[in-house]
């Protein structure tokens, strides 16, 4: 960002006028007392906008939240982890609506002012018998906390909660943005098994917010990939309640531009945090494609490289294998010319004009052995570029994802399904 | 096939008039005495046709063989394993040409009557100092063997050589088809790090053969995937020398139809063998998509399912996870309707109308625990269908592909690069 800002404590509860709460229903693990139902509530009317999975198989809460967001006046979000409420048909829609109703009434809202999100296992019905008794505690718990309870309640196989908040001056007013995210598996361009909630006390008109959210998501969450799988539940929802007391941000003005920069920065930080905390991830790799004829070519090349199982396996081994990168560039579906392609690993030339460069292999090896490094691919055909954030693919990832059957069996034993 | 045929011994050497030879140059492993240079030679003039990788990064031997195949009169193929001669620039082309020249002269052929194939590591120059001294032994070794030496010489990380041969009556004449294949990694639709050579003593005019090969490859090798990576070296070459004494097969006649059936059957058997012997593969899964609006939709759905890391990980665990299959169907890029999708695992309904079916999970689990099973996905939107052959993705696959650096280091120590 090209203006000063301060990191502040917390996440979605950090901006003024937002209350949060979280309780444990025993959806995630009936034995351990882990938070798995969360609520965000704005004391003031909000502008709201969202972005959702483009998967044709959409979870019930995604369908419900999309409908509720049409007016752009969401004021509360209820979210659970442990069950995705996906592939659950009409019953799933009914359950998602019931979750909205449950918080709308006591908070004095219409059902359509409440968003709902779920993340977890696909294909099992929501364990409403466990959720329903906790509504009272959830609402009673609402308070001006910093939102860390929400960040903790939405994670599944993440190793830790991920949240961020900043404050900065917009004209004469100090405003705050806070956000939290959960990720871990099924992370692919066009979002992921990913829930992300962002709140701000800036005053942004609905139409501006909608446009800004779509642009920022395109440049952050749509640029990450862990395993190349796109989930049924991906959701980003942004609430802006204007509690900072500032006048509405004018469209295309300087403050609008600043606000968008801040929003993009927050989203990119959260997106990167998702990759770093991917399931059994050991490497964070930034892939920059330069010199493509058109933007779409650059994107295709970046995606092919970031999704290749062979490339990701070599990253896992800390192997600076430019041959595999080049072969993925080759099958990306763009008309690249092999003899023009340069590949740099951590700033050192690995491949020039499609051939091995002079950099000693040991030097590249040292770079690829780091937990984070950058790969630059120059197609030398034009001016377009694209950046993606990716991870390795580890034997442990496969091992971790081998069987949900055990989980299902335990669930049935616990009476959760 | 709807006509009788007999399995016969051997592979590319089984048809009449084909001589084979293989020697060890120490490209694959200088210590062990493994065959890594092979030669196939027809005593008679041939019709020939081929299909090659669509990767824009093409290995030198692919470029050379494509040029030589233009006339459709290839009579010999020289192939090595251990080094792919890919990403090797002008030097690579020079080396590939030198390999053709080396066998063309003593066999009395033009250079353009010789095909060349390489498979192995990408980006290292061909160790010609090791190959050149072996040409004499290679040619001296030519004899009417059954071709098993060729099958053994082209494998890399395959666990065993893969070959097949059949004989059948075409009109009054008995003809034979033989083939061998190597696969293992980088196996994806549109072929793979895959070399496949097929010979026949049937008499097929060049134009017919070319059309037949493209059709049969589309229905066999283009329908398999192991890791979703498409290689730089994929090659299928078919030689037909007419040594059975039969008259030329007339285009679109009954014998033409029979011949194409036989060719397709051979290719499909070899393609399946490649999947079964994929790197660290434990499952062979047939995915049939039915009821798509158009052929392309069915194909997209099959590919999305067969390439999903999450789906493949669940297969590895023997987990009948229909939710992950459905989510991959959803992001395939086709306009499927979730509420219409049925999924059957081993003939048992796992998901009906997008919802969990009644089949007890234990029953599905028993099927998915088998080494081979079939998944049928019915989109219920139309009449088009598509079948793919896929494998699981194992922790061992990633582990195996983590580092070629060690290989490179050893190669340098051995003086191979």
Question: Is residue A226 within 8 Å of A182, Cβ to Cβ?
Answer: no
Total of domains in chain B: 2
| CB-based contact B321 A365, cutoff 8 Å | no
Q: What is the reported pLDDT for A188?
A: 41
User: B263 in a domain, yes or no?
Assistant: yes
Total beta-carbon pairs less than 8 A apart between chain A and chain B: 226
- pTM value surpassing 0.90: no
Last residue of a domain, which of B237, B252, B276?
Answer: B276
Mean pLDDT, all residues of chain B: 90
User: B405 in a domain, yes or no?
Assistant: no
SS3 B307: helix
Based on the fold, state whether residues B55 and B203 are members of the same structural domain. yes
Query: Residue A183 sits in a domain of what CATH number?
Result: 3.60.70.12
**Cα(B377)–Cα(B386) distance, integer angstroms:** 10
Based on the fold, state whether residues A149 and A200 are members of the same structural domain. yes
Interface of A with B in 368-407 (CB under 8 A): 393-399, 401-405
Q: What is the reported pLDDT for B226?
A: 65
Q: Give the residue from A114, A162, A143, A184 showing the smallest Cα distance to A23.
A: A143
Per-residue pLDDT tens digits for A218-262: 999 888 876 555 667 889 999 999 999 999 999 889 999 999 999
Contact A330/B at CB under 8 A: yes
Q: Give yes or no for residue B390 having a pLDDT over 80.
A: yes
Contact A226/B at CB under 8 A: no
pLDDT-based confidence at residue B410 (cuts at 50, 70, 90): low
**Cα(A323)–Cα(B89) distance, integer angstroms:** 13
Q: What residues does A38 pair with on adjacent strands?
A: A22, A79
Calculate mean pLDDT across residues B89-97.
95
Q: What is the reported pLDDT for B400?
A: 75
**Cα(B43)–Cα(A86) distance, integer angstroms:** 63
Based on the fold, state whether residues B246 and B311 are members of the same structural domain. no
Write the secondary structure of chain A as one string of H (helix), E (strand) and C (coil): CCCCCEECCCCCCCCCCEEEEEECCCCCCCCCCCCCEEEEEECCCCEEEEEECCCCCCCHHHHHHHHHHHHCCCCEEEEEEEECCCCCHHHHHHHHHHHHHHHHHHHCCCHHHEEEEEEEECCCCCCHHHHHHHHHHHHHCCECCCCHHHHHHCCCCCCCCEEEEEEEEECCEEEEEEEEEECCCCECCCCECCEEEEEECCCCCHHHHHHHHHHHHHCCHHHEECCCCCCCCCEEEEEECCCCCCCCCCCCCHHHHHHHHHHHHHHHHHHHHHHHCCCCCCCEEEEEEEEECCHHHHHHHHHHHHHCHHHHHHHHCCCCCHHHHHHHHHCCCCCCCHHHCEEEECCEEEEECCEECCCCHHHHHHHHCCCEEEEEEECCCCCEEEEEEEECCCHHHHHHCCCCHHHHHHHHHCCCC
Nearest-by-Cβ selection for A322 from B123, B327, B398: B123
Q: Which residues of chain B make contact with A189, given a CB cutoff of 8 A? A: none
**Which phi and psi angles does A165 have, rounded to 5°?**
-150, 145
Q: Which residues of chain A make contact with B309, given a CB cutoff of 8 A? A: 227-229, 309, 393, 397-398, 401
Chain A's closest residue to B84, CA to CA, is A323
Contact A351/B at CB under 8 A: yes
pLDDT-based confidence at residue A294 (cuts at 50, 70, 90): very high
Angstroms from A386 CA to nearest CA on chain B: 20
Neighbouring C-beta atoms of residue B352, cutoff 10 Å? 17
Calculate mean pLDDT across residues A24-51.
90
Interface of A with B in 257-316 (CB under 8 A): 307-310, 313-314, 316
Contact B230/A at CB under 8 A: yes
User: A417 in a domain, yes or no?
Assistant: no
Question: Is residue A36 within 8 Å of A28, Cβ to Cβ?
Answer: yes
Based on the fold, state whether residues A259 and A337 are members of the same structural domain. no
Last residue of a domain, which of B245, B276, B307?
Answer: B276
* Sheet with B76-83, edge to edge strand ranges: B18-23, B37-42, B76-83, B114-121
| CB-based contact B316 A398, cutoff 8 Å | yes
Q: Which residues of chain B make contact with A307, given a CB cutoff of 8 A? A: 228
Based on the fold, state whether residues A256 and A291 are members of the same structural domain. no
User: A59 in a domain, yes or no?
Assistant: yes
| CB-based contact B230 A331, cutoff 8 Å | yes
Give the residue numbers spanning the domain of B331.
Answer: 284-393
Across A72-76, A117-121, A256-260, B278-282, least confident range: B278-282
Across A6-20, A104-118, A194-208, B321-335, least confident range: B321-335
SS3 A153: helix
**């893969």: which residue's tokens?**
B162
- For β-strands B37-42 and A342-345, DSSP reports them as unpaired
One-character DSSP codes across B20-81: EEEE--SSS-TTTT---EEEEEESS--EEEEEE---SS--HHHHHHHHHGGGS---EEEEEE
pLDDT-based confidence at residue B188 (cuts at 50, 70, 90): very low
| CB-based contact B338 A54, cutoff 8 Å | no
Based on the fold, state whether residues B100 and B151 are members of the same structural domain. yes
pLDDT-based confidence at residue B350 (cuts at 50, 70, 90): very high
User: A410 in a domain, yes or no?
Assistant: no
Neighbouring C-beta atoms of residue B229, cutoff 10 Å? 26
Per-residue pLDDT tens digits for B129-162: 999 999 999 999 999 989 999 999 999 888 899 9
The more confident residue out of A98 and B409 is A98
Q: Which residues of chain A make contact with B329, given a CB cutoff of 8 A? A: 56-57
The radius of gyration of chain B's CA atoms, rounded to the nearest angstrom, is: 22
* Sheet with A173-182, edge to edge strand ranges: A6-7, A162-170, A173-182, A195-200, A235-240, A47-52
Q: What is the reported pLDDT for A47?
A: 97
pLDDT-based confidence at residue A191 (cuts at 50, 70, 90): very low
pLDDT-based confidence at residue A189 (cuts at 50, 70, 90): very low
Based on the fold, state whether residues B219 and B313 are members of the same structural domain. no
Q: Which of A20, A53, A88, A193 is catalytic?
A: A193
User: A398 in a domain, yes or no?
Assistant: no
Q: Give the residue from A244, A192, A178, A193 showing the smallest Cα distance to A40.
A: A178
Question: Is residue A147 within 8 Å of A12, Cβ to Cβ?
Answer: yes
**Cα(B349)–Cα(B237) distance, integer angstroms:** 41
Based on the fold, state whether residues B190 and B216 are members of the same structural domain. yes
Q: Which residues of chain B make contact with A186, given a CB cutoff of 8 A? A: 310, 327
Q: Give yes or no for residue B217 having a pLDDT over 80.
A: yes
Angstroms from A410 CA to nearest CA on chain B: 13
Share of chain B above pLDDT 70, in %: 92
Q: What is the reported pLDDT for B189?
A: 40
Based on the fold, state whether residues B188 and B243 are members of the same structural domain. yes
Per-residue pLDDT tens digits for A115-171: 999 998 888 889 999 999 999 999 999 999 899 999 999 998 888 999 999 999 998
**Cα(B188)–Cα(A316) distance, integer angstroms:** 21
Query: Residue B326 sits in a domain of what CATH number?
Result: 3.10.20.340
Buried b (16+ CB within 10 A) or exposed e, A236-263: bbbbbbbbbebeebeeeeebbebbbbbb
Contact A336/B at CB under 8 A: yes
**Cα(A322)–Cα(A375) distance, integer angstroms:** 10
Angstroms from B365 CA to nearest CA on chain A: 8
Q: What is the reported pLDDT for A187?
A: 46
Nearest-by-Cβ selection for A355 from B87, B227, B319: B87
Per-residue pLDDT tens digits for B102-128: 999 999 999 999 999 999 888 888 999
Question: Is residue A158 within 8 Å of A277, Cβ to Cβ?
Answer: yes
Mean pLDDT, all residues of chain A: 90
Q: Give the residue from A157, A152, A121, A159 showing the smallest Cα distance to A407.
A: A121
How does DSSP classify residue A359? S
Neighbouring C-beta atoms of residue A376, cutoff 10 Å? 20
Calculate mean pLDDT across residues B188-198.
68
**Cα(A226)–Cα(A271) distance, integer angstroms:** 11
Nearest-by-Cβ selection for B327 from A54, A232, A321: A232
| CB-based contact A310 B354, cutoff 8 Å | no
What lies within 8 Å, CB to CB, of B149 at 6+ separation is B13, B20, B21, B22, B35, B38, B141
Based on the fold, state whether residues A62 and A46 are members of the same structural domain. yes
Q: Which of B119, B193, B225, B334 is catalytic?
A: B193
SS3 A101: helix
Residue B199 is among the residues annotated as catalytic for this protein: no
Based on the fold, state whether residues B242 and B299 are members of the same structural domain. no
Interface of B with A in 91-150 (CB under 8 A): 121-124
Based on the fold, state whether residues B197 and B308 are members of the same structural domain. no
Nearest-by-Cβ selection for A57 from B338, B365, B408: B338
Neighbouring C-beta atoms of residue B363, cutoff 10 Å? 13
SS3 A160: coil
Angstroms from B334 CA to nearest CA on chain A: 8
Q: Which token pair is B140?
A: 């001296």
Question: Is residue B148 within 8 Å of B162, Cβ to Cβ?
Answer: no
What lies within 8 Å, CB to CB, of A327 at 6+ separation is A310, B55, B57, B86, B87, B122, B186, B229, B230, B231, B232
User: A104 in a domain, yes or no?
Assistant: yes
Angstroms from B143 CA to nearest CA on chain A: 37
The total number of residues shown for chain B amounts to 417
User: A405 in a domain, yes or no?
Assistant: no
């Amino acid at each position: 960002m090209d203006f000063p800002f301060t990191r502040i404590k917390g996440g979605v509860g950090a901006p003024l006028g937002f209350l949060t709460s979280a309780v444990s229903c025993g959806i995630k693990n009936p034995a351990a007392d882990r938070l798995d139902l969360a609520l965000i509530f704005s004391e003031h009317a909000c502008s709201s906008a969202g972005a959702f999975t483009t998967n044709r198989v959409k979870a019930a809460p995604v369908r419900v939240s999309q409908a509720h967001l049409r007016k752009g006046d969401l004021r509360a979000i209820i979210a659970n982890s442990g069950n995705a409420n996906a592939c659950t048909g009409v019953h799933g829609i009914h359950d998602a609506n019931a979750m909205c109703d449950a918080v709308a009434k006591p908070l004095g809202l219409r059902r359509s002012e409440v968003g709902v999100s779920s993340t977890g296992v696909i294909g099992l019905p929501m364990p409403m018998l466990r959720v329903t008794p906790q509504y009272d505690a959830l609402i009673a718990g609402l308070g001006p906390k910093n939102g860390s309870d929400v960040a903790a309640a939405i994670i599944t196989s993440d190793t830790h909660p991920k949240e961020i908040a900043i404050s900065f001056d917009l004209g004469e007013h100090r405003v705050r943005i806070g956000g939290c995210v959960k990720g871990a598996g099924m992370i692919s361009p066009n979002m992921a098994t990913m829930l992300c909630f962002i709140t701000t006390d800036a005053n942004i008109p609905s139409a501006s917010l909608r446009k800004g959210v779509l642009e920022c998501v395109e440049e952050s969450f749509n640029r990450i990939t862990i395993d190349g799988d796109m989930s049924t539940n991906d959701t980003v929802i942004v609430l802006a309640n204007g509690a900072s007391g500032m006048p509405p941000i004018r469209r295309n003005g300087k403050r609008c531009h600043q606000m968008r920069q801040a929003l993009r920065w927050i989203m990119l930080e959260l997106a990167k945090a998702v990759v770093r905390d991917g399931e059994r991830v050991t490497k964070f790799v930034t892939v920059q494609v330069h010199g493509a004829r058109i933007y779409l070519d650059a994107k295709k090349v970046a995606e092919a490289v970031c999704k290749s199982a062979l490339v990701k396996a070599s990253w896992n081994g800390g192997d600076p294998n430019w041959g595999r990168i080049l072969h993925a560039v080759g099958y990306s579906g763009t008309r690249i010319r092999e003899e023009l392609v340069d590949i740099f690993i951590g700033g050192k030339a690995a491949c020039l004009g499609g051939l091995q460069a002079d950099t000693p292999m040991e030097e590249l090896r040292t770079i690829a052995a780091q937990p984070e490094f950058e790969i630059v691919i120059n197609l030398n055909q034009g001016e377009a570029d694209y950046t993606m954030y990716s991870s390795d693919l580890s034997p442990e990832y496969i091992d971790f994802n081998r069987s949900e059957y055990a989980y299902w069996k335990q669930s049935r034993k616990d009476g959760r399904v």
